[in-house]
Structure 1
Amino acid sequence: MQIANFGVEEWLNTWEKKAKYDISQSSIEALTLEELIGLDGTSVRDYFEGLGKRALDYGWIEGSNEFKELVASLYQTVQSENILQTNGATGANLLALFALIEPGDHVVSMLPTYQQLYDIPKSLGASVDFVELREEDQWQLDLDVLKAKIQPNTKMICLNSANNPTGTLLDKATMSAIVDMAQVVGAYIVVDEVYAPLTDEGEFVSIADLYEKGIATNSLSKTYSIPGIRIGWTASSSEVAELFRKYRDYTMICGGVVADELAIHALKNKDKILKRNKKIVADNLAILKEWVEQEPRVSLVSPHYVSTSFIKLDIPQDDHSFCIELLEETGVLLVPGTAFDLPQHARLGYCCREENLRKGLELLSEYLRRFD
């Protein structure tokens, strides 16, 4: 099987541990184990004493019943038996694509988006057409262009809402219009929903609650700040979940008993996590916007209260070499737009610690002055 190099992951694998001021990441500042366990007043010692006699066997293959029930409660219509635990949202996307895409299928994807959503279908022998998001349109999906790309044999529409890297949202009205288009040809819709917005504005709705052939992929990595436990899921109809089970056996046996328990603890305390993260997003987004207003070589379409943003760079240098030299000379890490097939941009992850963000932006501005 031939597949393209994974741009953003390859970049981070190479450079992220060399950064002093990492403002590239798309998660909200990760919780420590102590912070996670302490959300309900429990100490790490007491928590793990309770787990101390737990056998480290395979545990629940699809995720424990409690995990599945807690995840199902995040949706309006999805039943717990139709939640399948995966290795992060990356594993959820892989499962959906591996199970449904065959050679000769036709897929429509947005661009930019998470590279999995179009390069895995290509590697499986599907043809992929793109609906390109445009900065002048505020990175919004053009429904007329999408409709024109859909063919009678379109098997799947792959979307990402909120979008990585731009942080823009497909609202309920837009998603309903896309469902209407998909129903005409019987296409599946896979939506990577790992960047659920931390605001009530914009009418976010999960595709799993809108469409019987809609598949939502998600995880605890971004909105819930615990990427290190590597727990995600698919949410779908019973028919799709039953199909996925066969393919899931080839991609993942289980998430492990400790990770499942930590996921349950996080979901039980989700209101506390979301309160913390809403503050981080709101406070840091205000800092980012103020910086952009004062920085003549950067522009930004504001993200929709999610943890990723995509700045445009007005510089006489390609973004890839710029980001390498920026890191080597200042310790500041961004992800170049070329990793998302959009040169002269960069992903700026603003939901890190405030002091890290402020210092990273200060050094970035100082570095940009060499082009004045």
Structure 2
Amino acid sequence: MDEYETTAKYNIAETCSASISMKELCELSEVKTSANDLIDLTKPLGYGEIRGATELRNSLSRLYSSRVLSLLSPDNILITPGAIAANFLVLYSLVGPGDHVICHYPTYQQLYSVPASLGAEVDLWKAKPEKGWNVDTEELKQLIKPSTKMIILNNPQNPTGAVLKNSLLQEIIEIASSHSPPIMIFSDEVYRPLFHGITPVDSQFPPSILSLGYRNTIAVGSLSKAYSLAGIRVGWIASRNPDIVGQCAAARDYTTISVSQLDQQVAAFALSPNTIHGLLGRNIGIAKTNLELLEKFVIKHDEFCSWTKPVAGTTAFVLFSRDGQPVDAVELCKRVQEKTGVMFVPGDRCFGAEFRGYVRIGYVNHTSVVKEGLAEMTKFMRREFDDVPLMDDVAQ
């Protein structure tokens, strides 16, 4: 991403919903506010509240407490500079040598590489493409060891756009809670609540891991992916267990004393009842529109493309093959960008060697970018795709 995104004409590898300005954010709110009034210019710019602004944590508390019997206290939420910092703090605070961790896979590399770097033993709980990127709880049971301390989930999942459904989450909690000692469940939920292929009225709609009554759960979120505000660098850690939040807060004292007050003011406005519905409605609308464009592309090229259609988040994992063999995805991505200016991410380079031929496509960018990028990709498929090497040819 760092190497190629600055030169891409059509960046449809981006994982954030189409970014918005403060002016656009204000226009989405039910209470019309000028961007000039969004920030309190009279507020002294000290560290502020160390664990996070009360207004912001109250908004998050309200979101996590919706549709559940047990409210989540704002004291059980720690604000961080983005979800990447939140993930690192959780793992740094809770995992170390002698611990065993099980990680839902494929996923963001941080979630399994960081615990390994901290000395933990890591096993991957693999979702399978032939099963629609579902996972098997019997396999999870077989992975558990006496030293298993944490199960790491990514829900909705990057890069596939699949979700772990309600009944499956219940099974995971039953397995974790029956272990002695009980296993912590850590869920990276940064793509929540961008659901566009499943709705809350569906019995299998996936709630946050914090909503299922198990105390030893941790959720991480941010304003970057579903809320279009990556530039303000606001994320959070939330748990039903205050001791977990306390350990993360203690570790954060050595990395980030507090998060920018200016960023938190914007975040609190975005998550307020007057703004969040307009913001999410915009992004879900973009996701549905653009996913339809991507689906038409996959169908048009079904001789070469296959996928499991995403139901949530911003990313799709598409397999490109020819004559029944996966193409060299790294070479495909390089040639596509060179010839068309379209940027994808190669699956085997970024998510594991077994994902040969896969590319990750970020489709919740501005619709014009996705539409024009896929049009250029269609020309590439017609003119250049036959020359992309197959993985078997590369191996030889």
Whether TM exceeds 0.5 here: the answer is: yes
What is the SS of the residue equivalent to 1:250? coil
What is the SS of the residue equivalent to 1:63? coil
What is the SS of the residue equivalent to 1:155? strand
What is the SS of the residue equivalent to 1:310? strand
- In the TM superposition, 1:19-30 aligns within 5 A as 19-30=8-19
Distance in 1, matches of 2:113 and 2:3, equals 21
* Aligned twin of 1:3: none
> Are residues 1:300 and 2:300 paired?
no
* Aligned twin of 1:181: 175
* Aligned twin of 1:340: 351
What is the SS of the residue equivalent to 1:311? strand
* Aligned twin of 1:371: 385
- In the TM superposition, 1:272-311 aligns within 5 A as 272-295=278-301, 296-311=303-318
> Structure 1-normalised TM-score?
0.93
Amino acid at match of 1:319: A
Distance in 2, matches of 1:206 and 1:336, equals 29
> Are residues 1:256 and 2:264 paired?
no
> Are residues 1:117 and 2:124 paired?
no
Distance in 2, matches of 1:22 and 1:184, equals 45
* Aligned twin of 1:8: none
* Aligned twin of 2:335: 325
Q: Which runs of 4+ in 1 moved over 3 A?
A: none
> Are residues 1:191 and 2:194 paired?
no
Q: Which moved more, 1:195-204 or 1:25-34?
A: 195-204
Distance in 2, matches of 1:360 and 1:337, equals 19
What is the SS of the residue equivalent to 2:4? helix
Distance in 2, matches of 1:193 and 1:317, equals 31
Distance in 2, matches of 1:243 and 1:45, equals 38
Q: Which moved more, 1:113-122 or 1:53-62?
A: 53-62
Distance in 1, matches of 2:363 and 2:296, equals 12
Distance in 2, matches of 1:67 and 1:327, equals 40
* Aligned twin of 1:226: 229
Spell out, residue by residue over 1:287-306, the C-alpha distance to the aligned partner (whole angstroms, 9 max, x if none).
11122111131111011132
Conservation of the 8 A alpha-carbon contact between 2:105 and 2:126: yes
> Are residues 1:270 and 2:276 paired?
yes
Spell out, residue by residue over 1:116-164, the C-alpha distance to the aligned partner (whole angstroms, 9 max, x if none).
1100000000111111111101001111111110112101111100000
Equivalent pairs counted in the alignment come to 359
Deviation at 1:249, TM superposition (A): 1.1
Amino acid at match of 2:385: F
Conservation of the 8 A alpha-carbon contact between 2:191 and 2:312: no
> Structure 2-normalised TM-score?
0.88
Identity of aligned residues (%): 37
Spell out, residue by residue over 1:203-227, the C-alpha distance to the aligned partner (whole angstroms, 9 max, x if none).
1111122221110011111111111
Deviation at 1:44, TM superposition (A): 2.0
Conservation of the 8 A alpha-carbon contact between 1:95 and 1:251: no
Conservation of the 8 A alpha-carbon contact between 2:163 and 2:312: no
Cα RMSD between the aligned structures?
1.4
Conservation of the 8 A alpha-carbon contact between 2:155 and 2:189: yes
Flag structure 2 segments of 5+ consecutive residues without an equivalent: 66-70, 387-396
Deviation at 1:275, TM superposition (A): 1.2
Distance in 2, matches of 1:246 and 1:47, equals 31
Distance in 1, matches of 2:376 and 2:305, equals 14
- In the TM superposition, 1:31-110 aligns within 5 A as 31-40=20-29, 41-48=32-39, 51-76=40-65, 77-110=71-104
Amino acid at match of 1:65: T
Spell out, residue by residue over 1:68-101, the C-alpha distance to the aligned partner (whole angstroms, 9 max, x if none).
1100111133211000001111111111101100
The structure 1 residue matched to 2:245, chosen from 241, 244, 267, is 241
Conservation of the 8 A alpha-carbon contact between 1:307 and 1:351: yes
Structure with greater helix percent: 1
Distance in 2, matches of 1:74 and 1:219, equals 13
> Are residues 1:357 and 2:360 paired?
no
Distance in 1, matches of 2:106 and 2:128, equals 9
* Aligned twin of 1:4: none
Amino acid at match of 1:195: Y
Distance in 2, matches of 1:150 and 1:54, equals 50
Distance in 2, matches of 1:371 and 1:325, equals 9
Conservation of the 8 A alpha-carbon contact between 2:101 and 2:149: yes
Conservation of the 8 A alpha-carbon contact between 1:337 and 1:345: yes
What is the SS of the residue equivalent to 2:156? coil
